[in-house]
Amino acid sequence: MSDPRRTHATPAATATALTGPAAESTAGNVPTMGVEEEFLLVDAHGPHPAPHAEAVLAEADDGRDTTHIEATRYQVESATPIAHTAQELRSHLLTLRRRLAAAATAHGCRLVASATPVVLTSPPASRLVDAPRRHEQRARYGSLTDTLVACGCHVHIGTLDLDTAVGVLGHIRPWLPTLITLGANSPFWEGRDTGHASWRAVSVSCWPASGSPPRLDSAEHYHRTLADLVASGAVMDAKMIYWDARPSAHWPTVEVRAPDVSTSVDEAVLQAVLVRALVTGALRAVHDGHPAPDIRDGVLTLARWRAARDGLEGRAVDPHTADLLPANTVVDALIDHVGSDLDDTGDLPHVERTLARLRRDGCGARRQRRAFERRGLLSDVVDHLAEATVDQNA
């Protein structure tokens, strides 16, 4: 693992330890948060992605490891320092977006918080960055790598040892589709409306180790699963486990990868505090010896697809009953589930305000479609995304 003393997006080993059977969550001892946001770069004068990631990152580099290269030449990633509160996290996210946006402008492009490219014309083979790992992925997995032009919001909660992280996954996995519902922000893909609110969630499902995480019993079970995946060739290493939540490959955290990148910083903070509340409750359950909910994998598959298709404006599968309900009803069930932990950390008002705004204005996918409906131009969608990405209230 990299030096844990470095400032990084994920809560590192210097954070308050919440490990093993002693792990608890109280108002005075809550896990830390960190968020990685992936963005697209688009041309300053048009809707097409701009292959200037390396130049933009060089311009934005502050020497603190808070901006990173991603899979393709059209993508950049920000990584917040460790945050203890929602306001602290929001400040980090705003600072990083503004720095990346300024660097993008300096190189003739715009920063766009869209989980998929609205328009893309370059040949797939030229999209990946020129790095040995990406060349190896292209050689092994062929056109699957075309789906790497996608941007997520990755929430890290820690510090957790591996056994505890695995235990936590079992308790939070029923709610991962609901995070997709709230974060859906990718209806368009390469010039067309996909009919889904989160096409990113659908496209990434093509990879062998993707979707809802399996039910795991222990760290040893996780290591066996990883060894099987590597031996089969399904993944090259732990970094290619693209489950919606996983133990981080580099940091002592649970990493939730389910939602699309959010156009709004407040929606990114919403995801982070909801994930922290879920993990806090899961830590309590692990500490008290409560088994994880017995949710069938097939039900989670259905819930995940329905979330990706409908977003917040449609219907959702209740993960516990498999009933098809209004999506907002399932969101309400999530808030009921984590409400006391949100209240303990002071995050409940932010959740209530942001949910009210989402229910009024629609999820990211609905807002993208509304931008398209005005004139029927995909360029209007890209303009809307570029403006909204950086036009955040301080």
CB 177 within 8 A of CB 304: yes
Task: Please report, rounded to a whole number, the percentage of residues in the chain having pLDDT higher than 90.
Answer: 88
pLDDT digits (tens, 9 = 90+) for 140-194: 999 999 999 999 999 999 999 999 999 999 999 999 999 999 999 999 999 999 9
Q: Which of 51, 52, 78 is nearest to 261 (CA)?
A: 78
Distances (CA, A) of 49 to 13, 32, 384: 37, 34, 15
Partnered with residue 78 across adjacent β-strands are 37, 67
Residue of higher predicted confidence among 296 and 8 = 296
pTM of the model: 0.92
Q: Which residues contact 289 (CB under 8 A, 6 or more apart)?
A: none
Question: How far is residue 172's CA from residue 213's CA, in Å, rounded to a whole number?
Answer: 10
pLDDT digits (tens, 9 = 90+) for 322-333: 999 999 999 999
Q: Which residues contact 288 (CB under 8 A, 6 or more apart)?
A: none
pLDDT of residue 21: 25
Q: What is the dihedral of CA 196, 198, 200, 204, to 10 degrees?
A: -80
Q: Report whether pLDDT(5) > 70.
A: no
- Tell me the two tokens of residue 367: 């807002």
State residue 318 phi and psi, 5-degree precision. -65, 120
pLDDT band at 393 (very low <50, low <70, confident <90, very high): low
CATH topology of domain 20-390: Creatine Kinase; Chain A, domain 2 (3.30.590)
Q: Report whether pLDDT(17) > 90.
A: no
pLDDT band at 125 (very low <50, low <70, confident <90, very high): low
Q: Which of 212, 217, 216, 215 is nearest to 178 (CA)?
A: 212
pLDDT of residue 274: 98
Domain ranges of the chain: 20-390
pLDDT digits (tens, 9 = 90+) for 239-280: 999 999 999 988 999 999 999 999 999 999 999 999 999 999
